[in-house]
Each structure stands twice: as structure tokens, then as C-alpha cells.
Structure 1
Amino acid sequence: MTAAAAERTARPCPECGARMPVDARFTVWCAACEWNVDPVRAAEGEPPGLLERRRRELARRHGERLLREVADGVPLKARRDVASVLAQVLAVLVHGVTVTLVVLGAWCLVAGWGTPLPVLGLLLLCVAWPLRPRFGEAPDDVPLLRRDDAPALFALVDEVAEAAGTRGVDLIAVDDEFNASVCAYGLRGHRLLTIGLPLWEVLTPPQRTALLGHELGHFANGDTRHGRLTWTAEQSLEAWWYFLAPTPRPDAWTVVAVNVITFLPWLLVQGLRLLLDQLTLRAGQRGEYLADRVSAEVGGREGAIGVIDRHLVADSVLTALARERNRTALRTSRAAGAPDPADGLWDRLVAHVGSVPEHEFDRLRRAGTRRGHTVDATHPPTHLRRHCLTLGPAGPARIVVDTAREARIADELADARRKVARRVLGARY
């Protein structure tokens, strides 16, 4: 909707009387007094769960403290504080329990032959097996790109990685999430970059470069939460928590034999999970700010800010994709020669995001400031990340992707775009 059309459909604010633009697709709100700026928060109230509220509050505090440091001229750099060191120690202790179980189990099998000890040894080894460190593996349910499949895309990733001060990735996965991420998998620590097409497609070329800079910046800055030691310890603790969790709706025998016996160990494991989460939270916050800085360096400040703003309309993007899926599901069959709905899905999504008016972005930014919106509870509040990017002089983007290069990358992603589009739509036509 154009500004002139919005003015023609404007109506007065019930609180202050200021004119409000009206777009039937989005929330009507007042920029003057912020009436109805966040109706969802007003209806839902605080996030459910004491733990989730506590994590969000800590994320806000750490984010504000780091932002003040940047504003005061304190250099923002990766560093090992006491909490990070304690997190590493705790992770070693968690893995030490698993190693102890393996050693004791093996000793019982070898030294106790001819006695009941081997039974205990087998039991210890069976317990240790699901608690072993999980190094992950490449996904097998989404399109995967290797260097021979997408040389132009890998060349861009390598260029961004070099600018960030790290190495590139070994594999690129393309999925249907409104997200992007990096991780290491396998014993040798191969690097995986996952690109969610719903996010990638609605970004401009500078924003895509900035997105790659942010993700690879996590590797460059030694983010504790992305470290294999603490990450695998979290997986082991989660396995402990799962096995020790009280049985829901137990009978009398289960209460005595299982729940009462496992309750205290389960409570201890839950405490260790929370402790490890809190010890890595501040380092994780710093890692996000550092990754944003890399994002701005390689893709430019506007590109980095654009990526953050695009996350504000994630719900709108997911709603648009749901409409596309429902519309496709209503078609009982597709006539011969009719266009495949998957072919134009991403173009329609780009058009939808392009039609979101600026006053809706403004509302989402203000609502995010009020509620402390984050990508998740481990990220600093989005408005703080955005404000941090505006501090200091803005330099030019170190990497600029021209039209020809962008076209080559698009060609390399064409098959993945089609497969993921069909997956989004359900592929039942």
C-alpha cells in the first residue's frame, strides 16, 4: 500500500486522535501514543514458565550490559571469563561421568569373570552408551550441496569466512526453516552451514552476505555455546534428564520403584543443565554481538540491520507459507500442462514481504523493544542488537556480490529451491 493510499484509508486513534494508516492485513496502531502497538503481548501476558521468563530477563540484562560497554568505547572482543572457564570444567566433569561408567563397566567384565560382576559391567556399559558424546552427522532429509554442486556459493562462503578470520564449510544444507545456522559434525569436526530458504529468499544480496558473515562469525569468535565440548555435554545432560524424568500418571508401584528413587538424581541433572546454560549465557550474548559485527563488516551496516529486521516478520512469512500450503491442499489435482505451484512459491513470498509497509516494521520494532523480543532466549534482545550496529562509523561492505555472481548462485540453488518448495507445499498435487 502506498503512503497516499494509506492516508486515504487512515482513521483517528481512539486514544489521542492522531491519524493511523489502515492496512487490513496488519495491526492498526498509533505511532503517536503507541496505542495497540503490541496486541499479542496484551492478550497473552508474560511468557509461560518461570525458567523461560528468567532466561529472557538474563538475556536482556547481559545484552544491555554489553551494549553499554560498546557505547562507552570498550572493545568488543571474544574473551574467556570465569563463567566460560567454569562451563568448560563442568562439561569435562559431565563427560568424565560417562568415561567412569565405561571404565568401571569394562573392569567388571574383565576382572569379575566367574562372578556376578560382569552383569553389573554390562549394565554400566548399557547406561554409558546413550550418554556418550554425540558429534552429530549430516542431515539426510534435506537437499545437500557440496563444492562440486555449488562452486559459486561455496566461493562466496569461503570469501566471507576469510574476511571473518576463519575457514569455510564442508557442506551446505538447504531446508524450509526461517533461519540459518552453522555447526560442526562428525569426529573430524566437519562444518555444516544450513540455509533456510524462506529466510534466504526474502533477503537482498547484501543481506545474504551479511547473514553468511553472522553465521561464520560464530566460528571465528570461538563462541562457547557453539563449542563442541559444551555442546556435547549439553546433549549428555539432556539424555540423563530424559532417562531420569518422572513417569507421568504413575501407578503406586511405579511411584515407589521409579519416581521416588530417580527424583533426586533427576533434580540434580536439571540443576546441572540450568547451571551450564547460565554459565554459557553471557559468552553466548557476546558471541551474538561479535557475529553481528562480522555481519556488518562483510555485508555492510544496512545489510546487517536488514537481516535483523527481516526476522521481525518471521511470523508473517510463516503465515504466508501456510496459506500457500492450504491453497495447494485444496486442489484435488493439477490439470495437465498447468503450472506447478512450487515454481512460483518463492517469488510470491518475496512479493509478500516486499508489500509489508514500513509502519508495520516500525510497529514490530517498537513492540520488540517493549517485550524484549529475541530470536530465542539465548540471543540478546533484537532491538539491542540493532542499536549496537548503529554505533560507530559505518564502513563500506567488504564483499559485494554483483548481478552475474548472484545469478550463478541462484542457478546452483535452483534444484534445492524446487525440492524445498514442494516440501513446503506438501507435494500432494
Structure 2
Amino acid sequence: MEHDLAVRASERQRCPDCGGTLVATDERFARWCAACDWNVDPAPPDSEPGRLAAARRRLARRHGEELAAAMSGGRASLPRRDAAAVIALGIALLVHGATLGLAVAGGLLVVLGWETVVQPVGGVVLLVVAFVLWPRMHRIPQDGPVLYRADAPRLFELIDEVAAVTGTAGVHAVVVGSDFNAAVTAYGWRQRRALFLGLGLWEVLAPQERVALLGHELGHFAHGDVRHGLLTHQALRSLALWVDTLAPSRAHTVWDTLFNILGYLPRCAAYGLLALLDHLTLRAAQRAEYEADLSAARAGSTGGAVGLVERLLVADSVQTLMRRESAAARMTGGAAGRAAREAAERGWWERVAAHVSSIPAHEYERLLRVSARRGHGVDDTHPPTHLRRRCLTLGEPRPAQVVLGEERATAVAAELASARAAVARQVVDFGRTVSDC
């Protein structure tokens, strides 16, 4: 019997396809074969996206591969499509011109059309539509801690140093949240800069990976991105609103049917412009990500940038951990429940970091192979993760131009301490979990 058990255990460690030894040193993760990729992707997507979404994904993957090939070919800079950028800006101006035209027409109907009742009413309708479509300036969200320079001088000093290396200026505010993400944006009419810092990602990074993260995000300011520029971004928003507003409704009445008929051509026009503008800016968005990765390597070193990209592969694992622990802490009610939540808050980020540190190297390798199979990226505006990693490793490794030493790392952590506690409380109390970056 012992012999039979030993034989079965040995068989479980053998690949059923090629007979090679399976990679299975940690029972938390899938067993797979490094030789033939058996079971490398045990949970593929349940269903394929629609035809348009699938076509967009293929286009995004092709752009990512083309740009990666250009970098691998030793080009000094990534190829740019100035014609596409000019056309995109032209479409954006056309969209905003249409919004302005609605506002002007509505104003004229209200002011000059008092001979009838219909004209002022129509003018008010046009003004309301123009107001909804009018470009909106980003605001700093108030659902999480917001730090300014006086609140965290050492953190802002680090950001300023990284910004200087990437060739841009620093930020005016840091918004702290729970996401497995980081981002930059401009807010308000003065276009001040804000950094969104997700602790789900920040807390699992090594010091130089954190520098690389800052370099990547600030690199978006340094290199620019047509897609996220004020004109183009707001045009995409306006067109998306048009498509949603003109979407056909279920014909319960004759008025519903009439709306669907009259809205068909405007809806097609809005959708066509949205698809065209998305197509024209998709390649530029991926190019901006590669350039931001190079900024990450300049600031935090090649090793730091590669480590950052690899951490993005385990976003789902971190998300699962945080959801599970958050749900467990909220299951008990009353005083015992409050005690459980308080216990969960203490050391929350340390447990998240320990979980990521315990993920074995072979799991990262498996996820990289899954990335190559699926063309996995953070989203369609990001190149596939395995290509980003490959491009970072081209040529001689870059040394770090900004070093986050132990003393400064401790000081930054102290400045973030109250924000870390507040965000952990939000996650535990309200179930706010991380999202993919």
C-alpha cells in the first residue's frame, strides 16, 4: 500500500502531457509544467468579449507588439504618429465646437425667440444638453486622505527629486487610497497636479520599486499623452455621454419608438466618432506607457522598474486576500465585531505585504506566460505586461538616480502612517478592496 501511495504521489508530480516534473512547490497556486505549459492558465476567461471589444483588444495588442519591436530594434525613441495625433485633436475640437454651438444656439433661442413658446423651451433644452456635455475639470476626491506639502514634506521631497530626473515638476497633492494602482491627473481650472497613491500597490513594493512607481507616473507628465490631454480626454467623455444618452430604449410607448428612430443617425455618428478617436489615440496611449516605464528605470533603476511591472501580475491575488480578510472582519456583529474589525485594521498593510512576499518565483513565471498567451495588460491602453518587462531589460541595466534609503523610507512611512490607518479602516468597515491598475 505504501508503494502504491508513493507511485500515486509521483504521478501527481508528473505532467500528463509530456511527463515532465510539475512546478508545485506551493499548494496555494496552480501546478503547471514549465516544459510544455500544461495547466499554465487553469482559469481562462469565462467568455470572449463582443466582436468590437475583441477587435479593440487585438488592435491594442498589435500596437504594443509593434512598439516593443521598435524598442528591441535599438531605436533611440519610440515611433510617433503625428498625423494621428493631429487628426485626434481635430476631432476633439470638432466635438467641443458642437457643444459650444449647442450653447450658442440655445442662448439665441432663449433671448430672441419670445414670439413663440416653443423656441425658448427648445433653447433651454439645448442649454441643458450643452451644460451636461461641457468639459469638466477634475476635482480631488474627498473619500480618502489628501496630503499636501505641509502634511508630508519628506514624501513631497522624494516626489520632487524623481520629477527632476524625469524632466517635469512635482505635484501639489497626494490622494491616498486602497487601490492596487497609482495615477496622476491635473485638477481645477489652474490645472494643478495630483498623484493618486494606492496603498494596495505602494505597500507591497520594495524601496526602489516605489521610486520606479513615482518615476512611471510622473513620466506621464514629462512625455505627454494625447489621449489624456485636456481636449481629447474631455472629447472622449462627451462622445461617451452622447452614446449613452442616445442609446435605444425599450419601446413601451409611441414616443419611445419615435425617440429611437430620430436618435438612430446621431447615435451612429457619435459612436463612429468615439470609435475613431479611441482608435487614433490608442497607440499613443501605449507609447506613453513604454516611455513612462523608461522614466521609471531612470529614476529607480532597471531592477526597480522590472520589479514594479512584475508586481502588477499579482493584483488579483492581493485583491482576493483583501476581500477575504475584509469580509471575515465584518461577519461578527456587536462589540465582538468591532473588536474583530479593530484587530483586522492593526497590521493590515503588513499582512498584505507579507502575502506578496510569500508568492514564489515560479508563480510570477507562470503569470508572465499567461500574460504572453492572453496579451494581458492592466487595460487596453497599456501594453501587455510581459512586453513591458522585456523592453525594460533591453541593453545595459540602468542605475538608480534616486535612492530611497532606509532613513528616508522610514520618514516617508511615518508621514503616511495616519493615512494608512484611515484607509485600512475604510477597507475593513466598508469592504473597499483594491482594483487593477
Q: Please, what TM-score do these two structures have when normalized by structure 1? A: 0.93
Q: CA deviation at 1:225?
A: 1.6
Q: CA deviation at 1:427?
A: 5.6
Q: CA deviation at 1:21?
A: 3.5
Q: CA deviation at 1:257?
A: 2.2
Match 2:122 to one of 120, 123, 128? 120
> 2:18 & 2:304 partners in 1: Cα distance?
36
Deviates more, 1:363-372 or 1:56-65: 56-65
User: Does structure 1 residue 372 correspond to structure 2 residue 375?
Assistant: yes
Match 1:231 to one of 217, 233, 237? 233
Q: Give 1:3's aligned residue.
A: none
Amino acid at match of 1:161: A
Report the 3-state secondary structure (helix = DSSP H, G, I; strand = E; otherwise coil) of the residue aligned with 1:12. Answer: coil
Amino acid at match of 1:94: V
> 1:291 & 1:425 partners in 2: Cα distance?
33
> 1:245 & 1:28 partners in 2: Cα distance?
46
Report the 3-state secondary structure (helix = DSSP H, G, I; strand = E; otherwise coil) of the residue aligned with 2:292. Answer: helix
> 2:12 & 2:122 partners in 1: Cα distance?
76
User: Does structure 1 residue 312 correspond to structure 2 residue 340?
Assistant: no
Q: Give 1:25's aligned residue.
A: 28
CA contact 1:308–1:382 (8 Å) conserved in 2: yes
Superposition pairs for residues 31-110 of structure 1, below 5 Å?
Answer: 31-41=34-44, 44=46, 47-77=48-78, 79=80, 81-110=82-111
CA contact 2:23–2:34 (8 Å) conserved in 1: no
Deviations 1:33-86 (A, max 9, x none): 110001122x635x3112221122111111111112112222225856111110
Match 1:132 to one of 131, 134, 154? 134
Amino acid at match of 1:155: E
Count of residues in correspondence between the two structures:
419
Distance 1:130 1:393, change over 3 A: same
Q: CA deviation at 1:119?
A: 2.7
> 2:339 & 2:95 partners in 1: Cα distance?
60
Deviations 1:308-335 (A, max 9, x none): 1111000000001011112201233455
CA contact 2:184–2:194 (8 Å) conserved in 1: yes
CA contact 2:107–2:127 (8 Å) conserved in 1: yes
Amino acid at match of 2:330: A
Q: Give 1:422's aligned residue.
A: 425
Amino acid at match of 2:64: G
> 1:78 & 1:159 partners in 2: Cα distance?
29
> 1:56 & 1:122 partners in 2: Cα distance?
41
Superposition pairs for residues 249-268 of structure 1, below 5 Å?
Answer: 249-268=250-269
CA contact 1:206–1:300 (8 Å) conserved in 2: yes
Match 1:208 to one of 210, 216, 234? 210
Q: Give 1:407's aligned residue.
A: 410
Q: CA deviation at 1:99?
A: 0.7
User: Does structure 1 residue 391 correspond to structure 2 residue 384?
Assistant: no
Deviations 1:364-383 (A, max 9, x none): 00111111111001111111
> 1:147 & 1:161 partners in 2: Cα distance?
15
Q: Give 2:190's aligned residue.
A: 188
Deviations 1:77-102 (A, max 9, x none): 58561111100000000000011111
Amino acid at match of 2:396: P
Provide structure 2 residue ranges, at least 5 long, that are not aligned to the other structure.
1-8, 432-437
Amino acid at match of 1:62: H
CA contact 1:78–1:287 (8 Å) conserved in 2: no
Superposition pairs for residues 158-307 of structure 1, below 5 Å?
Answer: 158-247=160-249, 249-307=250-308
Distance 1:14 1:79, change over 3 A: closer
Amino acid at match of 1:204: A
Distance 1:53 1:427, change over 3 A: closer
Q: Give 2:18's aligned residue.
A: 16
Provide structure 1 residue ranges, at least 5 long, that are not aligned to the other structure.
1-6
Q: Give 1:4's aligned residue.
A: none
Aligned-CA RMSD value = 2.0
CA contact 2:209–2:304 (8 Å) conserved in 1: yes
Deviations 1:143-190 (A, max 9, x none): 111111111111111111111111111111111111111111111111
Distance 1:334 1:364, change over 3 A: farther
> 2:52 & 2:195 partners in 1: Cα distance?
30
> 1:118 & 1:322 partners in 2: Cα distance?
53
Deviations 1:189-248 (A, max 9, x none): 11111011111100011001101111111110011122111011111112212211111x
Q: CA deviation at 1:104?
A: 1.4
CA contact 2:70–2:78 (8 Å) conserved in 1: no
Report the 3-state secondary structure (helix = DSSP H, G, I; strand = E; otherwise coil) of the residue aligned with 1:172. Answer: strand
